Amino acid sequence: MAVAALAAAGLPGTASARTPDSPGLPGPAAVADASPALLTAMGRDLGLTRAQARDRLVNEAAAGATGGRLRLALGDAYAGAWVRGAESARLTVATTDPADIPAIEAHGARAAVVTHTLAALEAASAAVDRAASRTAARTTAVDAPVRYVDVRTNTLVVQAVRPAAAHDLVVAAGIDRALVRVETSADRPRPLYDIRGGDAYYMNGSGRCSVGFAVTKGTQQGFATAGHCGRPGTTTSGYNQVAQGSFQASTFPGRDTAWVATNTNWTSTPYVKGQGAANVQVTGSTQSPVGASVCRSGSTTGWHCGVIQQHNTSVTYPEGTISGVTRTTVCAEPGDSGGSYISGSQAQGVTSGGSGNCSSGGTTFYQPVNPLLQAYALTLKTTTGPGPGDPGEPGEPGGTWAAGTVYAAGAQVTYGGVTYRCLQAHQAQPGWQPPNVPALWQQV
């Protein structure tokens, strides 16, 4: 598939996450509606002033969109992207090909030339996951429970309670040891089962979990949540004990995805419950880069923020291994499971599990929302207006669909001679052509 050419204009050598050749990306006015609760939580958890928090939202939205476009343009040489600085003002994009440096710098990002492609590291990670899933290695995997690609160090990290367990797992996977860095850690992640929070719901009249994000499937309303909360057919009632709906699909382990279809007593709304029960609007689901801020909502510990550490992380819980989750510094405790992770106004994922707590600090993992939506052909419920950190200019109405473009809800494109209307704000990816993703596009 042809990819739009990299812009020739720019400021080579700069490292700003806000690229000068992207006039559609939001300025300070675009975050004027940022929730005071969101800014307060970012200040508390990330040590930011309110002005820094606003700037960070703008920069991270721009970096997410720019990083996504560069990933498509660099192709097989792409090795990851991350932001740095209190305001996330410095975007770095890694490549294995030095010839890519001018193109990266033309987008206002710093280029890093590394040894291993992201695809190679992710293939090694997948091999370790397969080894961890084999019966003979399951006990070993429990002692080396977290694996992820660290794009900043260009390595596959295996965190282990016993370093010998990490070594055994790598040997069982049959991968090049030079790709791997072992970190000793006492963390033993677990799903956050005990008490469920956020806008709580009850499963079969007993345990509780949290609503992740409101969704629709055609005319059916419902919500996305964690797969470990229930199986297909599990009935739910709402926070007020009123009959609510039932699980339609669920995957756990492997992934941690599920969705619940609700009855007519319940209406989907495009909001996340913020601090003090304030509404935080959801305008899309553009993925934020490594280093970006992210906030989580849960009833046990409330509204907390932190930083995205790695995407595509693998975790071995006692129940089995899940892959493709994102690792963060946001704290959580039992009862926060299933709840929402959001960067600015962009939905990121639903709480899976973690370690530590919100008194001494912790590490958590979320199931990214975009794969969940794609797996079940769901449409995220969003507001129609711009939100804090909105990722940028939608595709031109009537223009031709192109991977890497950020489309706003309501934007119209043509593909194969047919006109489509965007149902959910997103950044288009290869394979997401309008006929392939009815959850994102509707034929006009």
Identify the CA nearest to 295 among candidates 244, 339, 337.
339
Identify the CA nearest to 194 among candidates 274, 298, 295.
298
Supply the DSSP symbol for 162.
Answer: S
Q: Is the dihedral of CA 102, 103, 104, 106 positive or negative?
A: positive
On whether the CB atoms of residues 173 and 124 are closer than 8 A, the answer is yes
The single residue of 337, 340, 352, 355 carrying the catalytic annotation is 337
d(CA 254, CA 321): 6
Start-end of H helices in 259-366: none
User: What would the two tokens of residue 190 be?
Assistant: 């677990």
441 burial level (CB within 10 Å; 0-12, 13-18, 19+): buried
Start-end of H helices in 312-388: 369-376
101 burial level (CB within 10 Å; 0-12, 13-18, 19+): middle
Q: Residue 82: left if φ>0, alpha if ψ -120 to 50, beta else—which one? A: beta
**How many CA atoms lie less than 13 Å away from 350 in the CB half-sphere?**
34
The 10 Å Cβ neighbour count of residue 417 is 5
The single residue of 116, 228, 311, 426 carrying the catalytic annotation is 228
**Amino acid at site 248:** Q
Could you give the angle at the alpha carbon of 388 between the alpha carbons of 55 and 349, nearest 5°?
Answer: 105
337 is catalytic: yes
CA dihedral 35, 38, 42, 45 (to 10 degrees): 150
323 is catalytic: no
User: What would the two tokens of residue 409 be?
Assistant: 């809800």
The single residue of 256, 285, 311, 340 carrying the catalytic annotation is 256
340 is catalytic: no
Identify the CA nearest to 342 among candidates 280, 409, 250, 254.
280
Do you find a cis peptide bond into 28, omega within 30 degrees of 0? Answer: no
For 218-344, strand residue ranges (E) read 220-225, 235-237, 243-251, 257-262, 271-273, 279-281, 293-298, 302-317, 320-328, 340-343
Known catalytic residues? 228, 256, 337
